[in-house]
A and B are shown apart, each in its own frame.
Chain A
Amino acid sequence: MTAVPADTGSTGLRILQRPKATTGLWSWVTTTDHKKIGMMYFIATMFFFVVAGVEALLLRVQLAVPENDFLSPELYNQLYTMHGITMVFFVGIPLGATFFNYIMPLQIGARDVAFPRLNAFSFWVFCAAGIFMYSGIVLGGLPDGGWFNYAPLSTTVGPDVSGYTTGGGSGELAYQVHSGRMLLYSVGLQIAGIATLASAVNFIVTILNMRAPGMTLMRMPVFTWMTLIVAFLLLFALPVIGIALWQLMFEVRFGANFFNPAAGGDPILWEHMFWLFGHPEVYILVLPAFGIISEIIPTFSRKPIFGYTAMVFAGVAIGFLGWGVWAHHMFAAGMGPVANTAFGLTTMFIAVPTGVKIFNWVGTLWGGKVRLTSAMLFAIGAVAMFTIGGLSGVTHSVVPSNYQQTDSYYVVAHFHYVLFGGLVFGAIGGIYYWYPKVTGRLMNETWGKINFWTLLIGFNVTFGLMHFLGLWGMPRRIDTYYAGFGWEQLNLIITYGAFLIAASIALLLLNVVVSLRRGKLAGDDPWDARTVEWMTTSPPAHYNFAEIPQISARDELWHRKHAVSDSGDYVRVPAGGSGAIVVREVEDSDIHMPDPSVFPAMSAVGLPIMGWALFTSGNLMIVMLAVGSVITVGSLFAWAFEPSAEEGH
């Protein structure tokens, strides 16, 4: 290791010089700053949130009245499929990544994540996956087999055996259209999986290695703990779906027979592999929100989180148990009574650690001084709504009763209470909570409260009533229904509810944009918060902390703001007192930060090109595969040999 080749950057390989832009578009493309990447994740996620939301509204318009012809079945199937895929893979997962990226390094007192360029790579690959997935709009249609994409509908058969949508007759053409859509699904999600897997590794290494001195694992904020658990879940879950997607790709494009019963395959194999990923995925989506809630509630109750240790280990327990429950998605698939019993019982008992979390949040509120800011309202709302989702989850674990509920609107209600009620409410709380840290300004609280109450009402009208529809026999994934089953009124009301949700989300986004300029200046610590990220400036300098804080307690900032009086009570330390925080200004050049790089973004460009190659054949396919792999592999090499911007670092 002594003979490092000297300074290749400034002589031979000019192309490898680091970009220097600090403002403008180029600075965003080349950034390796976890905060900028976090903001880009936020923007991309909100974009996809709006897209998937509009898809949902179209579905609701179609279902507002029986036998509606607003959407054709073909379009309906694409929209409901893309609503699910987009919300799960392009909103849920990156919403977690948004908060992990921006907040987690600040919370542990780090200057950046462990692998800043890998972090940028994750973001750009995620964008590439989104573009690839939606390129179906111009490539013959979007995936239409549902986000669960069960074989053999997704493989050898296809939803449109008649060739109806391709003008009838030609089965060959229909199959080509079908296989194209399934390639978008399998390759698009594989690309997204690369992004997420890289993030997971990055977050794990960051949390394990880059905590500020004194921050032991059991002093980490609960949010950071949940980040760690989610990263591990991703690390183990993504390879499973990766293999399944690979098999699907081979089945569709190259005629493999993993899931084809006529050739010795089995459709149930796909179900198992999909849900072995798909259920941990639920916890991947919701645990970040649990982390966010666990930050907001203590701050606005002015109390530490109740039962920190139980909170952390409940999260870990959910992470573990989450691996043993996947087949509860398949109770009606005919696994037999023994398997159904086993998975029913594990599913029931995952309610125990989840209940612990809920009670501990209530315990945190109890005896505190509760300030009902918008962030707090959303956090409490998330606890209340998630409780409903958790309870309907327990009803699912009762297997014989589940035979009635599964694949009905009752399930749609259930998982929206978990994912909208838990994840979306929690994440919106997180937006209100950390917005001042990110932008230096507060969001409008009045709008925030309107946002909360309209969303709470719209949400419950929409998804609450779906419980009834499901129990009254309305199946999921139907593009229309007939009058006379007692479903008409509820469906109409639900559609109104969906539009109320849309209005409320529009208000949220407006608030985010308008407050950028009009919001009140926040200062470093507007909420009188408890954790380390509030110890630096708002917005933080690109190096995060002028001086890495020494951590001596959980809720480090709170302890710095308070001292123990003679009588044993906590008293507030006057501003400027001995324990107070001094945000020291430093010259930028004093702190070396990772240099920007263009190669993470560039390496992402090749991936969709290789994906699109599968739509072609012959020489064109070879050329596209070659171009894509040269771009990606070449960029990775350039990345590996890229020198620092400055000598001596």
Chain B
Amino acid sequence: MRAARRRWSAWTIVLGVPIAGCGVQELPQSALNPAGPVAQSQDQLWDLVFWIAVVVFVIVQALILIAVFRFRDKGGDEIPKQVAGNTRLELLWTIIPALILVGIAVPTVRTIFELAEDPGEEALDVRVVGKQYWWAFEYLGDEGQGVITANELHIPTDRPVALNMQSLSATQPDPGFDQEPQVGQPVSNGVIHSFWVPRLAGKQDVVPGHTRPLTIQADEPGTYPGQCAEFCGLSHARMRFEVIAHEPDEFEAWLASQTEPAEPATDALAAEGQELFESQTCINCHAIDGYESAAGGAAAEVRIGPNLTHFASRNKFAGGIFDVDDPEQLAAWLRNPQEVKPGSQMPNLGLSDEQIDALSAYLYTLE
């Protein structure tokens, strides 16, 4: 962290950007502050090409300024020598840039192929689904079977995480991880999104009809914010998410806690909310594992909206723009989702304040 700060205050000097307080400013989404090997390899190339660009920039601008000041018209009749060119010079400034570019090309190509490599068996497999305007993360493999989070991706440190990303329609059920979307296959398709956690990895577009891989990895525990980087509609700016890295054992513990089904509400208000969850049709889009339907039996595992089994254990909701801890934000969201997040698929159910209180109380029991 300290190294990163020093480096980027060097930037401030280099480019002469007079911004007060930059040195202490938090830049949690900065690509210049990599926190894992993928972002680091991308950043190393950036450093290389940046400094080359700075040198070329200084040379060219200096030449322009020298030419202008040194050869300024100071009056007089003499006609400057009518030089039409200089083959040797021109060859020189064709060949030298070409050689510099070859120098940049070699590590570039190497890194392109390194980043495209399969992360191997040890990687944690996570399926990512982009919808207008939120992300679902489904933890695959034996360890994470059945765990689905929204707008919050938990990963262990020092272990590659192999993401396989798909884009699906926000209004249709997700057919599930075992159905690979392919061009020509009638699955419910979304629009193009782009998955971007600058401190962990550069972007990967999520294109409907395709499955796109991306490897990320974090060195240290922490919260790494990201957001959709491909214009995807009205609330493109409100399609955020967080990657939360844990020490491996803490991650295992977290994963275990997430496999627990939800407990039925005990508190009276929350119990009322639990009934509203079904009677107000929330249940048609949101799954809560272990939810006991009032009509009897377990509720269907729908995959249209986010899985809410552990809603209260998350930091953010609704595309990562609201704080779960803030009951007012939750109330505003339940009152009229499109008012606070235009274009959201969550309908305005016309809930009364009492109903909102009850629903909130229930949601807060879903730890």
Q: Which residues of A contact B (CB under 8 A)?
A: 72-74, 77, 145-146, 150, 152-153, 156-162, 164-165, 168, 260-268, 301-304, 306-310, 332-334, 336-337, 340-341, 344-345, 348-349, 351-352, 355-356, 358-360, 362-363, 365-372, 380, 383-384, 387-388, 391-392, 394-395, 397-408, 464-465, 468, 471-482, 484-486, 489-490, 493, 562, 569-572
Contacts and interface: CB of A to CB of B under 8 A. Distances in A.
Nearest to A340: B112
Contact of B204 (A334, A468, A490): A334
A472 B205 contact: no
B344 A473 contact: no
B277 interface: no
B42 A401 contact: yes
B342 interface: yes
A344 B189 contact: no
B202 A404 contact: yes
Nearest to A371: B73
13 contacts: A301-B80, A306-B84, A344-B112, A348-B104, A395-B46, A397-B108, A404-B203, A407-B194, A407-B203, A471-B30, A474-B29, A479-B237, A480-B238
Contacts of A484: 26, 28
Nearest to B131: A161
A76 to B, nearest CB: 9
Contact of B234 (A164, A395, A400, A482): A164
A405 B61 CA distance: 24
A352 B42 CA distance: 24
B19 A490 contact: yes
B97 A308 contact: no
Contacts of B270: none
A352 B98 contact: yes
Nearest to A392: B53
Interface string B41-69: 11101101110010011001101100110
Nearest to A152: B191
Interface string B26-40: 111111100000010
Interface in B223-251: 225, 227-238, 240
B314 interface: no
B25 A486 contact: yes
Given A398-B104, A473-B31, A162 B345 contact: yes
Q: Which of B25, B56, B97, B196 has its CB near the most chain A CB atoms (within 10 A)?
A: B97
Contact of B93 (A263, A359, A395, A489): A359
Given A267-B192, A333-B207, A472 B67 contact: no
Given A334-B212, A395-B49, A472-B29, A403 B80 contact: no
Contacts of A397: 104, 108
Contacts of A490: 19
A571 B209 CA distance: 72
Contacts of B229: 332, 406-408, 475-476
A358 B60 contact: yes
A262 B185 CA distance: 6
B231 A73 contact: no
Given A351-B101, A395-B53, A475 B186 contact: no
B237 A400 contact: no
Contacts of B209: 261-262, 266-267
B233 A475 contact: no
Interface string B70-90: 011110010111111110011
Given A261-B181, A310-B90, 10 more contacts: A150-B230, A152-B189, A157-B189, A267-B209, A348-B105, A356-B93, A366-B67, A406-B202, A477-B236, A478-B236
Contact of A160 (B30, B194, B343): B343
Contacts of A405: 31, 202
B192 A161 contact: no
Contacts of B50: 395
B66 to A, nearest CB: 8
Nearest to A570: B79
A485 B27 contact: yes
B43 to A, nearest CB: 8
A324 B42 CA distance: 24
Interface in B7-32: 15, 17, 19-21, 25-32
B82 A303 contact: yes
| Count class of interface residues, chain B | 35 or more
Nearest to B225: A485
A464 B116 CA distance: 32
B281 interface: no
Contacts of B170: 161
A306 B85 contact: yes
Nearest to A356: B94
A361 to B, nearest CB: 8
Contact of B108 (A307, A333, A400, A482): A400
B348 interface: yes
Nearest to B339: A164
B312 interface: no
Interface string B133-153: 000000000000000000000
B321 interface: yes
B187 interface: yes
A334 B210 contact: yes
Given A333-B207, A359-B93, A402-B202, A569 B19 contact: no
Contacts of A464: 15, 17
A355 B53 CA distance: 12
- 4 closest A-B pairs by beta carbon, nearest first, are A403-B202, A261-B209, A473-B29, A478-B237
B19 A352 contact: no
Contacts of A477: 231, 236
B3 interface: no
B83 A306 contact: yes
B112 A341 contact: yes
Contacts of B97: 351-352, 355
A360 B183 contact: no
A153 B26 contact: no
B201 interface: yes
Nearest to B98: A352
A352 B205 contact: no
Contacts of B72: 369-370, 372
B115 interface: yes
Nearest to A402: B202
Contacts of A302: 73, 79-80
A372 B68 CA distance: 8
Contacts of B27: 472-473, 485-486
Contacts of A304: 82-84
Given A367-B83, A380-B64, A73 B342 contact: yes
Nearest to B109: A341
B49 A365 contact: no
A366 B198 contact: no
B85 A486 contact: no
Given A355-B97, A404-B202, A481-B237, A398 B46 contact: yes
B231 A401 contact: no
Contacts of B227: 475, 478
B171 interface: yes
A145 B231 CA distance: 8
B156 interface: no
B85 A307 contact: yes
Nearest to B338: A164
Contact of A363 (B86, B212, B238): B86
Given A362-B67, A369-B80, A403-B204, A266 B49 contact: no
Contact of B17 (A351, A383, A395, A468): A468
A299 B264 CA distance: 84
Contact of B57 (A145, A159, A387, A402): A387
A367 B81 CA distance: 7
B130 interface: no
B190 interface: yes
A185 B41 CA distance: 40
A403 B203 contact: yes
B208 interface: yes
A360 to B, nearest CB: 7
B93 A73 contact: no
